[in-house]
């Protein structure tokens, strides 16, 4: 029963961590998660397949791929280029990023369906100008251990001595700040209204 089930607070104000630089433009969902792995019946192993066809060639690990590079191990932020997540609308691609450990993507722009799919997982997508993407990626390559702080309340990225402003849909930003990005959280916050509506439905309140 709903009275017995309490969803934990899911407010997202800051995403902190080291970053992975992968600033190419037009990285599509088939690059992010090859279609053959969509046959899995759950999302549980999707993180293992992230960029699989780039990271592994003929059974060998591509050591120089940023997702394989030990310098970026444990990174929670991805720096990507423009039109990130273009192609098909498969939700498996955001799931792969999420289950790999990515909590935020900084990009020049996003395919909107992809950005929405990310938001539904609590994976934050923010936008900065192309020239800033280049600067961020180069900085990370030179300083891979630098911690980034994405501040959703102030709409800035802090790293080292730098501060960069970012943009995102205001409704989406507010959803993260208020813990309403999760559909179940929205139901939780409207519990009384749901009960009130249900009470007026004869096919629910039958005797």
Output the CA angle 84-85-90, nearest 5 degrees. Answer: 175
- 37 belongs to a structural domain: yes
Nearest CA-CA partner of 33 in 115, 107, 92: 92
How many structural domains is the chain composed of? Answer: 1
Residue 184's pLDDT is what?
72
Q: pLDDT confidence of 31, banded at 50, 70, 90?
A: very high
- 139 belongs to a structural domain: yes
- 76 belongs to a structural domain: yes
Reported pTM: 0.86
- 144 belongs to a structural domain: yes
Range(s) of the domain holding residue 84: 10-180
What is the per-residue pLDDT across 119-175, written as a single tens digit (0 to 9) for each?
A: 999 999 999 999 999 999 999 999 999 999 999 999 999 999 999 999 999 999 999
Does 5 have pLDDT greater than 60?
no
- 200 belongs to a structural domain: no
- 195 belongs to a structural domain: no
Residue 46: CATH number of its domain: 3.20.19.10
What's the start-to-end Cα distance of the chain, in Å? 19
Contact 95, 46 (CB under 8 A): yes
């Amino acid at each position: 029963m709903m009275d017995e089930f309490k969803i934990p607070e899911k407010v997202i104000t800051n995403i902190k961590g080291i970053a992975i630089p992968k600033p190419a433009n037009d990285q599509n969902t088939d690059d992010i998660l090859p279609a053959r792995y969509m046959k899995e019946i759950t999302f549980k192993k999707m993180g293992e397949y992230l960029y699989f066809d780039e990271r592994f060639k003929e059974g060998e690990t591509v050591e120089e791929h940023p997702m394989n590079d030990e310098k970026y191990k444990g990174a929670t932020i991805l720096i990507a280029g423009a039109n990130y997540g273009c192609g098909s609308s498969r939700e498996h691609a955001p799931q792969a990023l999420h289950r790999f450990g990515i909590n935020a993507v900084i990009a020049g722009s996003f395919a909107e369906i992809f950005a929405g799919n990310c938001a539904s997982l609590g994976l934050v997508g923010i936008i900065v100008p192309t020239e800033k993407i280049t600067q961020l990626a180069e900085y990370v390559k030179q300083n891979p251990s630098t911690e980034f702080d994405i501040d959703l309340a102030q709409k800035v990225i802090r790293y080292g001595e730098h501060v960069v402003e970012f943009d995102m849909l205001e409704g989406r930003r507010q959803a993260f700040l208020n813990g309403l990005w999760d559909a179940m959280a929205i139901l939780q916050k409207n519990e009384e209204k749901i009960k009130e509506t249900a009470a007026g439905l004869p096919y629910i309140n039958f005797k």
